[in-house]
Amino acid sequence: MSAGAEEAAAGAAGSAPTLPGSGTSAARGIAASIGPGIGASLGASIGASIGRAMLTGLITLVLVVLAWQALLLVLGVSPFLAKGPLDVWSWLFSVPAAAENRAVIGENLVVTLGDAFLGFTAGLVLATLLATVFTLSRGVESALMPIALLLRSVPLVALAPVISLITGRGLTTVVVMGSIVVLFPALVNIAFGLRSASPQISDVIAVYGGNAFTALRKVALPSSLPSFFAAVKISIPGAITGALLAEWLSTGTGLGNGIVTAVAQVKNFEVWASVVAITVVSLVLYGLAQLVETLVLRRMGMQQPTT
Protein backbone atom coordinates (compact mmCIF):
# COMPACT_ATOMS: atom_id res chain seq x y z
CA MET A 1 0.00 0.00 0.00
CA SER A 2 1.35 3.47 -0.86
CA ALA A 3 2.07 6.09 1.77
CA GLY A 4 -0.83 8.25 0.52
CA ALA A 5 -3.28 5.38 0.80
CA GLU A 6 -2.10 4.57 4.31
CA GLU A 7 -2.56 8.20 5.37
CA ALA A 8 -6.09 8.30 3.86
CA ALA A 9 -7.10 5.10 5.66
CA ALA A 10 -5.73 6.40 8.93
CA GLY A 11 -7.59 9.68 8.48
CA ALA A 12 -10.88 7.90 7.78
CA ALA A 13 -10.46 5.69 10.82
CA GLY A 14 -9.71 8.69 12.97
CA SER A 15 -12.73 10.66 11.77
CA ALA A 16 -15.25 7.79 12.18
CA PRO A 17 -17.47 8.23 15.29
CA THR A 18 -17.09 5.57 17.94
CA LEU A 19 -19.43 4.47 20.71
CA PRO A 20 -18.01 3.86 24.15
CA GLY A 21 -17.77 0.18 24.99
CA SER A 22 -19.20 -2.64 22.98
CA GLY A 23 -22.32 -2.42 20.76
CA THR A 24 -24.37 -4.32 23.32
CA SER A 25 -23.45 -2.00 26.16
CA ALA A 26 -24.19 1.01 23.97
CA ALA A 27 -27.63 -0.34 23.14
CA ARG A 28 -28.28 -0.96 26.82
CA GLY A 29 -27.25 2.58 27.60
CA ILE A 30 -29.63 3.99 25.01
CA ALA A 31 -32.48 1.80 26.27
CA ALA A 32 -31.77 2.84 29.85
CA SER A 33 -31.82 6.50 28.88
CA ILE A 34 -35.15 6.37 27.02
CA GLY A 35 -36.83 3.75 29.24
CA PRO A 36 -37.80 6.11 32.08
CA GLY A 37 -39.21 8.58 29.57
CA ILE A 38 -41.44 5.95 28.00
CA GLY A 39 -42.58 4.71 31.42
CA ALA A 40 -43.37 8.23 32.58
CA SER A 41 -45.28 8.96 29.37
CA LEU A 42 -47.28 5.73 29.70
CA GLY A 43 -48.05 6.45 33.36
CA ALA A 44 -49.19 9.97 32.53
CA SER A 45 -51.38 8.63 29.73
CA ILE A 46 -53.02 6.08 32.03
CA GLY A 47 -53.54 8.71 34.71
CA ALA A 48 -55.11 11.10 32.22
CA SER A 49 -57.43 8.36 30.94
CA ILE A 50 -58.56 7.49 34.46
CA GLY A 51 -59.12 11.17 35.24
CA ARG A 52 -61.21 11.68 32.11
CA ALA A 53 -63.25 8.56 32.87
CA MET A 54 -63.96 9.75 36.42
CA LEU A 55 -64.91 13.22 35.21
CA THR A 56 -67.20 11.79 32.55
CA GLY A 57 -68.87 9.52 35.08
CA LEU A 58 -69.38 12.40 37.51
CA ILE A 59 -70.91 14.61 34.82
CA THR A 60 -73.20 11.78 33.72
CA LEU A 61 -74.33 11.18 37.30
CA VAL A 62 -75.08 14.87 37.85
CA LEU A 63 -77.06 15.08 34.61
CA VAL A 64 -79.08 11.97 35.51
CA VAL A 65 -79.92 13.35 38.97
CA LEU A 66 -80.96 16.72 37.53
CA ALA A 67 -83.09 15.09 34.85
CA TRP A 68 -84.68 12.83 37.46
CA GLN A 69 -85.66 15.73 39.71
CA ALA A 70 -86.84 17.88 36.79
CA LEU A 71 -88.99 15.06 35.41
CA LEU A 72 -90.74 14.60 38.76
CA LEU A 73 -91.46 18.33 38.95
CA VAL A 74 -92.76 18.53 35.38
CA LEU A 75 -95.00 15.47 35.64
CA GLY A 76 -96.28 16.41 39.07
CA VAL A 77 -96.36 12.83 40.34
CA SER A 78 -97.58 12.26 43.89
CA PRO A 79 -94.71 12.34 46.43
CA PHE A 80 -96.10 9.14 47.90
CA LEU A 81 -95.31 7.30 44.65
CA ALA A 82 -92.40 9.26 43.21
CA LYS A 83 -89.23 9.70 45.24
CA GLY A 84 -86.60 12.26 44.37
CA PRO A 85 -82.82 12.04 44.76
CA LEU A 86 -82.88 13.57 48.25
CA ASP A 87 -85.63 11.17 49.35
CA VAL A 88 -83.62 8.14 48.25
CA TRP A 89 -80.44 9.50 49.81
CA SER A 90 -82.24 10.07 53.11
CA TRP A 91 -83.73 6.56 53.06
CA LEU A 92 -80.31 5.03 52.48
CA PHE A 93 -78.15 7.19 54.75
CA SER A 94 -80.14 9.43 57.13
CA VAL A 95 -83.19 7.68 58.59
CA PRO A 96 -82.77 5.51 61.72
CA ALA A 97 -83.19 2.31 59.70
CA ALA A 98 -80.71 3.40 57.01
CA ALA A 99 -78.25 0.60 57.79
CA GLU A 100 -80.96 -2.03 57.43
CA ASN A 101 -82.16 -0.42 54.21
CA ARG A 102 -78.67 -0.49 52.74
CA ALA A 103 -78.26 -4.10 53.78
CA VAL A 104 -81.44 -5.11 51.94
CA ILE A 105 -80.41 -3.29 48.76
CA GLY A 106 -76.82 -4.51 49.01
CA GLU A 107 -77.73 -8.18 49.41
CA ASN A 108 -80.07 -8.08 46.43
CA LEU A 109 -77.55 -6.13 44.38
CA VAL A 110 -74.79 -8.68 44.98
CA VAL A 111 -77.07 -11.49 43.80
CA THR A 112 -78.07 -9.56 40.68
CA LEU A 113 -74.48 -8.69 39.79
CA GLY A 114 -73.48 -12.34 40.14
CA ASP A 115 -76.34 -13.40 37.88
CA ALA A 116 -75.46 -10.68 35.37
CA PHE A 117 -71.80 -11.74 35.37
CA LEU A 118 -72.73 -15.33 34.53
CA GLY A 119 -75.00 -14.30 31.67
CA PHE A 120 -72.50 -11.73 30.40
CA THR A 121 -69.60 -14.18 30.40
CA ALA A 122 -71.52 -17.04 28.80
CA GLY A 123 -73.11 -14.82 26.15
CA LEU A 124 -69.89 -13.02 25.24
CA VAL A 125 -67.84 -16.23 25.03
CA LEU A 126 -70.50 -17.89 22.88
CA ALA A 127 -70.74 -14.82 20.64
CA THR A 128 -66.95 -14.74 20.19
CA LEU A 129 -66.79 -18.43 19.30
CA LEU A 130 -69.69 -18.19 16.86
CA ALA A 131 -68.29 -15.05 15.22
CA THR A 132 -64.94 -16.81 14.76
CA VAL A 133 -66.61 -19.85 13.20
CA PHE A 134 -68.76 -17.64 10.97
CA THR A 135 -65.65 -15.85 9.75
CA LEU A 136 -64.03 -19.15 8.79
CA SER A 137 -67.14 -20.76 7.28
CA ARG A 138 -69.98 -19.02 5.46
CA GLY A 139 -71.92 -22.28 5.41
CA VAL A 140 -72.01 -22.52 9.19
CA GLU A 141 -73.10 -18.89 9.36
CA SER A 142 -75.97 -19.53 6.95
CA ALA A 143 -77.11 -22.45 9.09
CA LEU A 144 -76.84 -20.85 12.55
CA MET A 145 -77.53 -17.15 12.03
CA PRO A 146 -81.31 -17.69 11.55
CA ILE A 147 -81.43 -19.32 14.99
CA ALA A 148 -79.72 -16.30 16.52
CA LEU A 149 -82.17 -14.01 14.72
CA LEU A 150 -85.08 -16.06 16.04
CA LEU A 151 -83.85 -15.78 19.62
CA ARG A 152 -83.45 -12.05 19.12
CA SER A 153 -86.90 -11.51 17.62
CA VAL A 154 -88.90 -13.39 20.29
CA PRO A 155 -89.41 -11.33 23.49
CA LEU A 156 -87.53 -12.78 26.42
CA VAL A 157 -90.65 -12.48 28.58
CA ALA A 158 -92.36 -14.93 26.23
CA LEU A 159 -89.39 -17.33 26.25
CA ALA A 160 -88.89 -17.25 30.02
CA PRO A 161 -91.62 -19.77 30.96
CA VAL A 162 -90.34 -22.25 28.37
CA ILE A 163 -86.75 -21.80 29.54
CA SER A 164 -87.81 -22.30 33.16
CA LEU A 165 -89.65 -25.51 32.28
CA ILE A 166 -86.58 -26.89 30.51
CA THR A 167 -83.79 -25.73 32.81
CA GLY A 168 -85.58 -25.29 36.14
CA ARG A 169 -85.54 -22.23 38.37
CA GLY A 170 -81.86 -22.05 39.26
CA LEU A 171 -78.65 -20.57 37.92
CA THR A 172 -78.98 -22.42 34.62
CA THR A 173 -82.04 -20.35 33.77
CA VAL A 174 -80.18 -17.17 34.72
CA VAL A 175 -77.26 -18.08 32.46
CA VAL A 176 -79.51 -19.01 29.53
CA MET A 177 -81.63 -15.87 29.74
CA GLY A 178 -78.63 -13.61 30.20
CA SER A 179 -76.84 -15.26 27.29
CA ILE A 180 -79.82 -14.74 25.00
CA VAL A 181 -79.88 -11.01 25.75
CA VAL A 182 -76.12 -10.65 25.24
CA LEU A 183 -75.63 -13.04 22.32
CA PHE A 184 -76.99 -11.33 19.22
CA PRO A 185 -75.64 -7.75 19.65
CA ALA A 186 -72.23 -9.12 20.64
CA LEU A 187 -72.24 -11.61 17.77
CA VAL A 188 -73.00 -8.95 15.16
CA ASN A 189 -70.34 -6.56 16.46
CA ILE A 190 -67.58 -9.15 16.82
CA ALA A 191 -68.32 -10.75 13.43
CA PHE A 192 -68.18 -7.32 11.81
CA GLY A 193 -64.83 -6.64 13.46
CA LEU A 194 -63.34 -9.95 12.35
CA ARG A 195 -64.40 -9.31 8.74
CA SER A 196 -63.02 -5.77 8.73
CA ALA A 197 -59.43 -7.02 8.77
CA SER A 198 -57.17 -5.76 5.99
CA PRO A 199 -57.38 -8.16 3.01
CA GLN A 200 -53.95 -7.01 1.82
CA ILE A 201 -52.29 -8.20 5.03
CA SER A 202 -54.20 -11.47 4.83
CA ASP A 203 -52.89 -11.90 1.28
CA VAL A 204 -49.34 -11.34 2.49
CA ILE A 205 -49.80 -14.07 5.10
CA ALA A 206 -51.13 -16.41 2.42
CA VAL A 207 -48.13 -15.66 0.19
CA TYR A 208 -45.79 -16.67 3.00
CA GLY A 209 -47.61 -19.97 3.49
CA GLY A 210 -50.03 -19.01 6.26
CA ASN A 211 -53.49 -20.56 6.36
CA ALA A 212 -56.87 -19.16 7.39
CA PHE A 213 -56.19 -19.81 11.06
CA THR A 214 -52.91 -17.90 10.88
CA ALA A 215 -54.66 -14.94 9.25
CA LEU A 216 -57.35 -15.11 11.91
CA ARG A 217 -54.84 -15.13 14.75
CA LYS A 218 -52.39 -12.59 13.33
CA VAL A 219 -54.75 -10.17 11.56
CA ALA A 220 -58.47 -10.62 12.19
CA LEU A 221 -58.46 -11.03 15.97
CA PRO A 222 -56.22 -8.01 16.73
CA SER A 223 -58.08 -5.78 14.26
CA SER A 224 -61.43 -6.75 15.80
CA LEU A 225 -60.56 -5.35 19.24
CA PRO A 226 -62.56 -2.09 18.77
CA SER A 227 -65.63 -4.09 17.77
CA PHE A 228 -65.08 -6.51 20.65
CA PHE A 229 -65.04 -3.68 23.17
CA ALA A 230 -68.15 -2.21 21.56
CA ALA A 231 -69.80 -5.60 22.13
CA VAL A 232 -68.65 -5.58 25.76
CA LYS A 233 -70.14 -2.13 26.40
CA ILE A 234 -73.43 -3.12 24.79
CA SER A 235 -73.53 -6.41 26.68
CA ILE A 236 -73.11 -4.94 30.17
CA PRO A 237 -76.58 -3.34 30.42
CA GLY A 238 -78.02 -6.25 28.44
CA ALA A 239 -76.67 -8.78 30.93
CA ILE A 240 -78.07 -6.80 33.85
CA THR A 241 -81.47 -6.63 32.14
CA GLY A 242 -81.40 -10.38 31.53
CA ALA A 243 -80.50 -11.02 35.18
CA LEU A 244 -83.35 -8.82 36.42
CA LEU A 245 -85.84 -10.60 34.16
CA ALA A 246 -84.61 -14.03 35.22
CA GLU A 247 -84.90 -13.08 38.88
CA TRP A 248 -88.37 -11.67 38.38
CA LEU A 249 -89.78 -14.48 36.24
CA SER A 250 -87.86 -17.50 37.47
CA THR A 251 -85.47 -17.56 40.42
CA GLY A 252 -87.23 -15.20 42.83
CA THR A 253 -83.98 -13.69 44.07
CA GLY A 254 -81.95 -10.50 43.64
CA LEU A 255 -83.13 -7.03 42.75
CA GLY A 256 -85.48 -8.36 40.07
CA ASN A 257 -87.57 -10.12 42.67
CA GLY A 258 -86.95 -7.44 45.31
CA ILE A 259 -88.39 -4.67 43.13
CA VAL A 260 -91.51 -6.67 42.26
CA THR A 261 -92.05 -7.60 45.91
CA ALA A 262 -91.54 -4.01 47.05
CA VAL A 263 -94.07 -2.77 44.48
CA ALA A 264 -96.64 -5.29 45.69
CA GLN A 265 -96.05 -4.24 49.31
CA VAL A 266 -96.07 -0.50 48.45
CA LYS A 267 -92.49 -0.07 49.66
CA ASN A 268 -91.87 2.81 47.29
CA PHE A 269 -88.62 3.94 48.89
CA GLU A 270 -87.15 0.48 48.38
CA VAL A 271 -88.32 0.42 44.76
CA TRP A 272 -86.63 3.69 43.94
CA ALA A 273 -83.48 2.85 45.89
CA SER A 274 -83.18 -0.47 44.05
CA VAL A 275 -83.54 1.24 40.67
CA VAL A 276 -80.97 3.86 41.63
CA ALA A 277 -78.51 1.22 42.84
CA ILE A 278 -78.65 -0.87 39.67
CA THR A 279 -78.48 2.25 37.48
CA VAL A 280 -75.39 3.59 39.24
CA VAL A 281 -73.67 0.21 39.07
CA SER A 282 -74.48 -0.07 35.36
CA LEU A 283 -72.95 3.35 34.69
CA VAL A 284 -69.84 2.47 36.70
CA LEU A 285 -69.35 -0.84 34.89
CA TYR A 286 -69.85 0.84 31.52
CA GLY A 287 -67.28 3.48 32.44
CA LEU A 288 -64.78 0.81 33.51
CA ALA A 289 -65.25 -1.02 30.22
CA GLN A 290 -64.68 2.22 28.34
CA LEU A 291 -61.52 2.92 30.34
CA VAL A 292 -60.12 -0.56 29.68
CA GLU A 293 -60.94 -0.12 25.99
CA THR A 294 -59.04 3.15 25.83
CA LEU A 295 -55.96 1.74 27.55
CA VAL A 296 -55.86 -1.47 25.51
CA LEU A 297 -56.42 0.19 22.13
CA ARG A 298 -53.81 2.83 22.91
CA ARG A 299 -51.36 0.11 23.95
CA MET A 300 -52.07 -1.70 20.65
CA GLY A 301 -51.57 1.50 18.66
CA MET A 302 -55.20 1.62 17.54
CA GLN A 303 -56.06 4.88 19.27
CA GLN A 304 -54.16 8.11 19.43
CA PRO A 305 -53.60 9.56 22.91
CA THR A 306 -55.67 12.63 23.63
CA THR A 307 -54.39 15.72 25.38
Q: Say yes or no to pLDDT of 267 above 60.
A: yes
What integer is the mean pLDDT of 239-267?
93
Please give the average per-residue pLDDT across 201-224, as a whole number.
Answer: 77
pLDDT score recorded for residue 22 = 43
Q: Specify the higher pLDDT residue, 169 or 190.
A: 190
Q: Are 148 and 187 in contact (CB under 8 A)?
A: yes
State the pLDDT at residue 161: 87
* Per-chain mean pLDDT for the chain: 82
SS (H, E, C) 137-204: CHHHHHHHHHHHHHHHHCCHHHHHHHHHHHHCCCHHHHHHHHHHHHHHHHHHHHHHHHHCCCHHHHHH
Q: What is the pLDDT of residue 40?
A: 55
Picking from 104-118, 148-162, 192-206, which range would have the lowest pLDDT averaged per residue?
Answer: 192-206
Predicted local confidence at residue 241, as pLDDT: 93
pTM value > 0.75: yes
Determine the Cα–Cα distance for residues 42 and 61; give it in Å rounded to an integer: 29
Does the structure show a pLDDT above 90 at 281?
Answer: yes
Sorting pLDDT into bands at 50, 70 and 90, what band is 85? very high
CATH class for the domain made up of 77-299: mainly alpha
Q: Report residue 38's pLDDT band, with 50, 70 and 90 as the boundaries.
A: very low
